Structure 1
Amino acid sequence: LQKNPQVTNQTGKYSFLVPEGSYFLKIEALGYKDYESDEFWTEEGDGIHINIEMKKERLFGRVTRWLKKLFGK
């Protein structure tokens, strides 16, 4: 797993360059449910456009996820 952290701009757009290969996106944002895309393949010169709608996470879900990360379960 290679981490390549990116931050969106004010309108939620992001971009980054990667070499040809197989990838997936994992997105985490405070107050929202985590998102993980299906695996996809890029070839030289490809432009990939993935529109992601983040879903709000309820407080109970945030606390539960935080506890799981804290205690490793």
Structure 2
Amino acid sequence: MLVSLGSIGYTVGVIGEVLIAYTVLKVHDRFLQEHMVDRKVLKEMKKEQIVAFIALAMIIAGYVLKVVSLEFHL
């Protein structure tokens, strides 16, 4: 199997996006554990965490679909 620069670039980009999402989730988790904010902010941060998890799942699913489609184009 020959790996193209495009697929390497795409892979590196997705890894970067996943690392950013992971970092955001960890920061939110740590902040929520500290409870240094009011209830309204905590509720909003919980919503943001859910959206971040969904976004992370979409990034990974998109990557898998892209890799599978590249496999069938070769």
TM-score (norm 1): 0.26
Larger Rg: 1 or 2?
Answer: 2
Q: Which has the higher helix share?
A: 2
TM-score (norm 2): 0.26
Q: Higher relative CO (CA 8 A, sep ≥ 6), structure 1 or 2?
A: 2
